[in-house]
Structure formats: C-alpha cells, structure tokens
Amino acid sequence: MFVGISTRKKTLFRWATPLLFVALWLAYVWGAMRAPALRHGAELDWGVLSGGLDSLEAWQRAFADGSVLRLFSALFLHADWIHLLGNLVFLLIFGLPAERVMGGWRFLALFLIGGAVANLAAVLAIGAPDRVIIGASGAVSAVIGAYLALFPTARLGVVLPLGLFLEFVRVPASLLIGLWALLQVVFAYSGPTFGAVAWPAHIAGFLFGVVFALLTRAAIARRLRHSRGY
C-alpha cells in the first residue's frame, strides 16, 4: 500500500465528496425542471464545445471572455439521470476513501482540476467541431485513478449472480479498475459511440488522478502522521 492507514478508529470528517454529490444532484434537478429548449441552451452556455483551445490565440480568447471556465462548469451538467447516477455511484465508492487520506481541499482540487484536464482532452480529441461535452465522468475517472494509486492492494466487494443466488465476493480493486481502464481505451478508438461519449476524457482523467496522487504522496503522508498525533 502506498500510504499506511492507522488501525485505530479515528473518524476523519469528509465533506468534499458529499458536497460534490449534492452539487451534482441539484444541478441535474435544476436542469431537469427546465423546458427542453432552456435545458439545451444551458448546455450550450455552460458545456465545453469541441474544436477549440487548440492554439495560443484560442486560449487567449477563452481567458478574455471567460469561456475557459466551461472546462469546470461542464462537470455539473449531465445528459440524463443514468449518466448522473453512474457518476454518483462511482464518486461515493472511490471518493470517500480517497478523501479520507487526501483531505477535503486536496480531494476537491483533484476532482475539479482533473475534470477540467479531462474535458480539455475531449475537446482536443473529438474531431467534429461544436460538439457539447458535459458530465463529471472525467472528474470521477480522476478520482478512480487516484484511488488506485492510494490503495493498490485494496479489495472491493462485488455481488455476482451465481445461478439463482447472489454471491458477495471481494476482488482486488486494481483488477476492477484495470478492466474499467481497458474498456475506456477500447471505446475511445472503436465503436459507434466515439464522439457521443467523451471516452478520451475518461482516459485523461484517470491518468491525471494517478499522477496527482503520486505527486502529492509526501503531503498526504504528512497529513496522516499529523492526524495520528505523531
């Protein structure tokens, strides 16, 4: 394991993951309550558009008119409730243990910056211009990548259907995440969903999360020692 976790029971308050959970949910409810035309308009106003940010001049214009903030605001928009639900489930599964060792502010930075980097990757990878990129999938992918770097030997509980019964088993988290990452690569370069789902954002977010966790491991270790009173 990359950082030691104390076996003594000491609760560390986790606020960033619940805050993001509520913010993502409320943003979706707000959008769902609007008329379809208004909802589509919000996606155009706050989502990221492909085909830009590929030159110095484009970046200068984005900073000048504030549209660079779309890289962040797009994280809080989702196409439908299934899109949202998938992100919320993975956010809770991997976000809570990651925040426990990283701390709230560092975890919040991981989510927001990782999501922005993932959106940028999608902007540059999707060839068709003016495609709207929305959703927190890239940010959640960054959380999953950080989780793998923080807990490389962790095991996750999985319910498997075995005949007429459901069996609860524990499998290595690295195996599940590795399979998830492989699927992202496959979907990025094959199949009819390319462009409809921003798979490059998932891949870029995952890699960002791994690098972020490794680069901040010294600070995380100091935080854990401090929380234990060493």
Kindly state the average pLDDT of the residues 112-122: 94
Cα(first)–Cα(last) distance of the chain, in Å? 20
**Residue 9: what pLDDT?**
47
Residue 194 is predicted with a pLDDT of 44
- Residues 149-162 pLDDT 10s: 888 887 776 666 66
Class of residue 186 by CB neighbours under 10 A (exposed 0-12, middle 13-18, buried 19+): exposed
Span 161-167, average pLDDT = 62
Which is more confidently placed, 222 or 198? 222
Phi, psi of 161, deg, nearest 5 = -80, 120
Superfamily, domain 16-228? Rhomboid-like (1.20.1540.10)
Percent of the chain with pLDDT over 90: 33
HSE-up of 155 (CA within 13 Å, CB side)?
5
The rounded distance, in Å, linking the Cα atoms of 191 and 178 is: 20
Q: How far is CA 219 from CA 209, 224, 225, 226, in A?
A: 15, 9, 10, 11
Q: Of 52, 19, 213, which Cα lies nearest the Cα of 125?
A: 52
Residues 22-32, buried b or exposed e (16+ Cβ, 10 A)?
A: eebeebbeebe
Question: What is the model's pLDDT at position 41?
Answer: 80
227 vs 109: which has the higher pLDDT: 109
**75-113 tens-digit pLDDT:** 999 877 887 888 898 898 889 989 999 999 999 999 999
Q: What is the pLDDT of residue 197?
A: 55
Q: Delimit the domains of the chain by residue range.
A: 16-228
- H helical segments located in the chain: 16-32, 36-46, 56-65, 70-73, 81-102, 104-125, 137-150, 173-189, 199-215, 217-228
Is residue 10 over pLDDT 80?
no
Per-residue pLDDT, 15: 93
